[in-house]
Amino acid sequence: MAEPLLQTCGITKSFGALKASDAISLDLRPGEIHALIGPNGAGKSTLIKQIAGNMQPDSGTVHFLGQDVTVLDTVARARLGLGRTFQISALAMDFTVLQNAVLGALGARGDVMRFFRPVMKDRTLVARANEALERVGLQDHAAMRTAELSHGQRRQLEVAVALTLKPKAFLMDEPMAGLGGGGSKRLTGLLDGLRAEAPILLVEHDMDAVFALADRISVLVYGQVIATGTAAEIRANPEVRRAYLGEEDAA
Amino acid sequence: MTRESYINAGLTFLLVLAPFWAWSMGQAYILTLCTKVAILALAGVGLNIALGLGGLVSFGHAAFFGIGGYAMGILASHAQTFDPIMDWPILIEGTKSMPMIWLVAMITSALAALLIGALSLRTSGVYFIMITLAFGQMLYYFTIGWPAYGGEDGLSIYVRNIFPGLNTLVPVQFLILSYVILGFALLFSARLSRAPFGLALTAARQNADRVETVGIAPFRLRLVAFVISGAITGLAGALFADLNRFISPTMFSWHTSGEIMIFVILGGVGRLYGPVAGAALFILLEHLLGGVSDYWKIFLGVLLLAVVLFARGGLIGTLAGREVGHG
Ligand SMILES: Nc1ncnc2c1ncn2[C@@H]1O[C@H](COP(=O)(O)OP(=O)(O)O)[C@@H](O)[C@H]1O
Ligand SMILES: [Mg+2]
What are the φ and ψ backbone dihedral angles of A28, each rounded to 5 degrees? Answer: -130, 125
Say whether both A73 and A173 belong to one domain: yes
Distance from CA of A110 to the nearest CA of B (A): 8
Instruction: Give the pLDDT of residue A214.
Output: 96
**Residues on chain A touching B210 (C-beta within 8 angstroms):** 90-92, 100, 103, 161
Cβ proximity of B295 and B53 under 8 Å: no
Establish whether the linkage from the previous residue to B249 is cis, with ω within 30° of 0.
Answer: no
Q: Does a structural domain hold residue B236?
A: yes
Compute the distance between CA of residue B278 and CA of residue B3 in angstroms, rounded to an integer.
18
Say whether both A205 and A227 belong to one domain: yes
Q: Taking residues B10-23, report their average pLDDT.
A: 92
Instruction: Give the pLDDT of residue B321.
Output: 83
Q: Does a structural domain hold residue A66?
A: yes
Give CA separation, B73 vs B68, B77, B85, B90, in Å. 9, 6, 12, 21
The secondary structure element, H or E, covering residue A27 is: strand A18-28
Say whether both A161 and A186 belong to one domain: no
Instruction: Mark yes or no for CB contact B326/A120 under 8 Å.
Output: yes
Instruction: Give the pLDDT of residue A12.
Output: 97
Helices (H), chain B: 3-25, 29-48, 62-81, 98-120, 125-144, 171-194, 196-206, 208-213, 218-244, 254-267, 274-292, 296-310, 314-320
Instruction: Mark yes or no for CB contact B196/A74 under 8 Å.
Output: no
In chain A, the N- to C-terminal Cα span, in Å, equals 38
Instruction: Give the pLDDT of residue B240.
Output: 98
Q: Taking residues B187-195, report their average pLDDT.
A: 97
pLDDT, mean over chain B: 94
Question: Which of these ranges, A160-174, B143-157, B299-313, has the smallest mean pLDDT?
Answer: B299-313
Q: Does a structural domain hold residue B166?
A: yes
Spacing, Cα A223 to ligand 1 middle (Å): 10
Of residues A31, A60, A67, the one with CA closest to residue A43 = A60
Q: Does a structural domain hold residue A86?
A: no
Say whether both A186 and A137 belong to one domain: no
pLDDT at B65 over 50: yes
Q: Does a structural domain hold residue A38?
A: yes
Compute the distance between CA of residue A148 and CA of residue A97 in angstroms, rounded to an integer.
10
Say whether both A2 and A40 belong to one domain: yes
Residue B291 — pLDDT band, cuts 50, 70, 90? confident
Say whether both A56 and A113 belong to one domain: no
Instruction: Mark yes or no for CB contact B213/A84 under 8 Å.
Output: yes
Contact residues for B213 (Cβ-Cβ < 8 A; gap 6+):
A52, A74, A78, A84, A86, A90, A161
pLDDT at B34 over 60: yes
Q: Does a structural domain hold residue B133?
A: yes
Residue B89 forms contact with A (CB below 8 Å): no
Q: Taking residues A202-216, report their average pLDDT.
A: 92
Q: Does a structural domain hold residue A41?
A: yes
Say whether both A2 and A39 belong to one domain: yes
Instruction: Give the pLDDT of residue B121.
Output: 97
Q: Does a structural domain hold residue B8?
A: no
What torsion, rounded to 10 degrees, do the Cα atoms A51, A55, A61, A67 define?
60
Instruction: Give the pLDDT of residue B90.
Output: 87
Q: Taking residues B231-252, report their average pLDDT.
A: 97
Q: Does a structural domain hold residue B131?
A: yes
pLDDT at A50 over 90: yes
More confident of the two residues A245 and A137? A137
Q: Of the candidates A145, A165, A185, which is a domain's last residue?
A: A165
Q: Which amino acid is at B210?
A: R
DSSP state of A243: I
More confident of the two residues A72 and B322? A72
pLDDT at A1 over 80: no
For chain B, what percent of residues have pLDDT higher than 70?
98
How many CA atoms lie within 13 Å of B321's alpha carbon, on the beta-carbon side?
5
Say whether both A188 and A148 belong to one domain: no
pLDDT at A251 over 50: no
Where in the sequence is the domain holding B129, given as residue range(s)? 28-320
Q: Taking residues A20-35, report their average pLDDT.
A: 97
Q: Does a structural domain hold residue B10?
A: no
Instruction: Give the pLDDT of residue A247.
Output: 54
Compute the distance between CA of residue A51 and CA of residue B274 in angstroms, rounded to an integer.
42
Compute the distance between CA of residue B68 and CA of residue B47 in angstroms, rounded to an integer.
14
Q: Taking residues A109-134, report their average pLDDT.
A: 97
Please report the ipTM that was assigned to this predicted complex: 0.93
Q: Of the candidates A137, A165, A193, which is a domain's last residue?
A: A165
Residue A243 — pLDDT band, cuts 50, 70, 90? confident
Q: Of the candidates A116, A145, A165, which is a domain's last residue?
A: A165
Instruction: Mark yes or no for CB contact B326/A143 under 8 Å.
Output: yes
Task: Work out how many domains chain A is built from and give that number.
Answer: 2
Provide the chain B residues 172-201 that lie in CB contact (below 8 A) with chain A: 191-192, 194-200
Which atom in ligand 1 lies closest to the alpha carbon of residue A174?
21
Instruction: Give the pLDDT of residue A208.
Output: 84
pTM of the prediction? Answer: 0.94
Q: Does a structural domain hold residue A156?
A: yes
Residue B2 forms contact with A (CB below 8 Å): no
Where in the sequence is the domain holding A250, given as residue range(s)? 1-81+167-251
pLDDT at A250 over 80: no
Say whether both A23 and A119 belong to one domain: no
pLDDT at B156 over 50: yes
Say whether both A173 and A73 belong to one domain: yes
Say whether both A176 and A76 belong to one domain: yes
Instruction: Give the pLDDT of residue A184.
Output: 87
Q: Taking residues B294-305, report their average pLDDT.
A: 86
CATH code where residue B168 lies: 1.10.3470
Say whether both A181 and A241 belong to one domain: yes
CATH code where residue A173 lies: 3.40.50.300
Task: Work out how many domains chain B is built from and give that number.
Answer: 1
Of residues B228, B208, B174, B181, the one with CA closest to residue B48 = B228
Q: Does a structural domain hold residue A160?
A: yes
Q: Does a structural domain hold residue B17?
A: no
Q: Does a structural domain hold residue B255?
A: yes
